[in-house]
A and B are shown apart, each in its own frame.
Chain A
Amino acid sequence: MSLLEVRGLDAHYGAIHALQRVDLTVEKGEIVTLIGSNGAGKSSTLRVLSGLLRPTAGTVTFDGRSLIGLAPHAIVRLGIAHAPEGRGIFGTLTVKENLELGAYSRSDRAGIRADISRMMVRFPILGERAGQSAGTLSGGEQQMLAVGRALMARPKLLLLDEPSLGLAPQIVQTIFAIIREINQEGVTILLVEQNAHMALRVAHRGYVLETGEIKMTDDARVLAASDEVRKAYLGIG
């Protein structure tokens, strides 16, 4: 059984049909990427998975349980953490408070404290800025905070929405290295990216979304080599 199984998913924003019959699976231990242009439905897919958007049809099964109709906080408790588009940092709270909020679904105080220290080792800048308002961090630093905060929930599945958006190339490299590291530690990752080049390099498998529909799916390497993907998303050919 797959860790995450999505079947025939439909979602609407008012009259706009954002997702159409989306099928998608994520196996335990994988990095799966969802690529596609702006407005293809990548973020909407993640929003359905974390309970922010109610689907109009279809099923979502995580770890053998249906997620349909569950509130976001209940989904976090089942083991899905979502680092949303635009990072969603609480700018007026401190870096440390942001991390603590990431662990809101947990009650093991000692474990939370240990994880905060661990995050500050993994992301040294978060340690240096622990007491500072998170809004004063740079874009890259905020992205690290968003990832670190999502990890504080100790998720089985991590949803990452455009972690490279608006960041300098060097920082993008760092972020992707971290994504690989997290995965090697056993966290399954569903990665949404416009930067198809980087995403297909780090992922095991990929899906191509176009106007709300899955157009292709394959091993990441096969996708990166296919003519269609190279033309449409990698700007080659």
Chain B
Amino acid sequence: MSSFLQFLLKGIAVGSLYALLALGYTMVYGILQFINFAHSDVFMLGAFFSWRLSVLFKINEPSPVAATGVLLGAMALCSLTGFLLERFAYRPLRRAPRLNVLITAIGVSLFIENAGQLVFGKNVVQFPPLLAEHTFEVGGVRVRSVEVIAVVTAFALMVGLHTLVYRTRMGKAMRAVSIDHNIAGLMGIPVDRIISLTFVIGSALAAAAGLLVGITYGQIKQPADSSWVLYGLKAFVAAVIGGIGNVPGAMLGGLLLGLSEQFVAGYLPSELRDAIAFLLLIIILLVRPNGLLGRRVVEKV
């Protein structure tokens, strides 16, 4: 029983990070119908920016205020990266075939990984202890305080995003652009600005995920390490499981993926952990081709 609870908590912790990252994929896909392969690199940058900011401001001991500052700083820097990425790599290709954009995204991804190695080096980086490490027991299960904080932060950001998308004028404009760029323009919506905004928000969430990964694991691997891409790929799978383009779907998919990974790793040979993401994807797409919350749009003519 206690191991069940352990897997559950760990699954929520990992799953909420997938969810944060999945939101970036799903928002860009919803609005441009293309997979932003460079998103996992923005996530990686989020971790490295956090590390550099901590070093820059000489944060050597845990402090919630400093941690919040680093979080906001990393989010701002990644937002800027996302903005520039869209403005200079993707926008010039707005009317080009989708394959061109996809190849550009892969190119940008390789560029960031290699530039990252140049700037941040090729070694594993010890992540500064931004938050105090406590462990406490709940129902016979050891819980790390940093994991709790990571989950709470991730959920707060997701609630914020959900409110933005479904309760504000700007969110309504985002949903309109995701349905039809031309018609959205006819409503007076500045379409290009909304697309920029989508990248800025998605990148900010990726930055938060990057910082939380650093805090949770205590170290980060070098920029071109395949684990970053694998993380991004799984987050993308989570977005597809939930229904690509669907914001609540990305959150649900992320949690589901995190949970199933932990339970598989717990009860079955742990080598199967990564395979389960893709197995889950195949099964869900067989049953629900549009993902769990993706709906087939029926429109009368």
Task: Known A104-B188, A135-B297, A166-B301; judge A72-B173 contact (CB<8 A).
Answer: no
Point out the residue from A51, A73, A166 that lies within 8 Å of B189, measured CB to CB.
A73
Q: Which residues of B contact A102 (CB under 8 A)?
A: 187
**Measured CA separation A77–B186 after assembly (Å):** 10
Report A140 CB to chain B, min CB distance, Å: 11
Point out the residue from A73, A81, A135 that lies within 8 Å of B300, measured CB to CB.
A135
Within 109-162 of A, Cβ neighbours of B (below 8 Å) are at 135-139, 142, 149, 153
A232 part of interface (Cβ distance < 8 Å): no
Q: Which residues of B contact A176 (CB under 8 A)?
A: none
Cβ–Cβ contact B300 & A90, under 8 A: no
Of all chain B residues, which has the CB nearest A88? B183
**Measured CA separation A50–B146 after assembly (Å):** 53
**Measured CA separation A53–B145 after assembly (Å):** 56
Of all chain B residues, which has the CB nearest A141? B300
Stretch of A29-37, A55-63, A91-99, A205-213 lying at the B interface: A91-99
Q: Which residues of B contact A52 (CB under 8 A)?
A: 182, 185-186
Point out the residue from A72, A93, A166 that lies within 8 Å of B175, measured CB to CB.
A93
| Of A101, A137, A138, most B-chain CB atoms within 10 Å | A101
Task: Type the 1/0 row for B164-207, where 1 means its CB is closer than 8 Å to any CB of A.
Answer: 00000100110110011011111111111000000000000000
Cβ–Cβ contact B172 & A73, under 8 A: no
**Measured CA separation A166–B190 after assembly (Å):** 31
B299 part of interface (Cβ distance < 8 Å): yes
Cβ–Cβ contact B173 & A71, under 8 A: no
Point out the residue from A77, A92, A136 that lies within 8 Å of B188, measured CB to CB.
A77
B298 part of interface (Cβ distance < 8 Å): yes
**Measured CA separation A139–B179 after assembly (Å):** 19
Report A54 CB to chain B, min CB distance, Å: 11
Q: Which residues of B contact A97 (CB under 8 A)?
A: 172
Q: Which residues of B contact A23 (CB under 8 A)?
A: none
Number of A residues with CB within 8 Å of any CB on chain B: 32
Task: Known A90-B176, A101-B172, A101-B176; judge A73-B183 contact (CB<8 A).
Answer: no
| Of B188, B190, B297, most A-chain CB atoms within 10 Å | B188
Number of B residues with CB within 8 Å of any CB on chain A: 24
**Measured CA separation A135–B298 after assembly (Å):** 7
**Measured CA separation A218–B252 after assembly (Å):** 61
Q: Which residues of A contact B298 (CB under 8 A)?
A: 91, 135
Cβ–Cβ contact A136 & B300, under 8 A: yes
Q: Which residues of B contact A72 (CB under 8 A)?
A: 182, 185-186, 188, 191
A100 part of interface (Cβ distance < 8 Å): yes
Q: Which residues of B contact A84 (CB under 8 A)?
A: 182-183, 186
Cβ–Cβ contact A135 & B299, under 8 A: yes
A42 part of interface (Cβ distance < 8 Å): no
Cβ–Cβ contact A73 & B190, under 8 A: yes
**Measured CA separation A79–B298 after assembly (Å):** 32
**Measured CA separation A216–B55 after assembly (Å):** 75
**Measured CA separation A26–B179 after assembly (Å):** 32
Report B139 CB to chain A, min CB distance, Å: 43
**Measured CA separation A88–B180 after assembly (Å):** 8
A189 part of interface (Cβ distance < 8 Å): no
**Measured CA separation A52–B191 after assembly (Å):** 12
Cβ–Cβ contact B173 & A104, under 8 A: yes
Q: Which residues of A contact B173 (CB under 8 A)?
A: 101, 104
Q: Which residues of A contact B172 (CB under 8 A)?
A: 93, 97, 100-101
Q: Which residues of A contact B183 (CB under 8 A)?
A: 84, 88, 90
**Measured CA separation A73–B195 after assembly (Å):** 14
**Measured CA separation A90–B189 after assembly (Å):** 14
**Measured CA separation A105–B173 after assembly (Å):** 11
Point out the residue from B176, B185, B300 that lies within 8 Å of A137, measured CB to CB.
B300
- A residues adjacent to B (C-beta < 8 A): 50-52, 71-73, 76-77, 81-82, 84, 88-93, 97, 100-102, 104-105, 135-139, 142, 149, 153, 166
Give me the 7 closest cross-chain CB pairs, A-B, nearest first.
A105-B188, A72-B185, A76-B188, A88-B183, A91-B299, A104-B188, A135-B299
Can you list 15 pairs linking A and B with CB atoms under 8 Å apart?
A50-B186, A52-B186, A71-B192, A73-B187, A76-B187, A77-B188, A84-B183, A88-B183, A90-B175, A90-B179, A90-B183, A91-B297, A92-B295, A92-B297, A139-B301
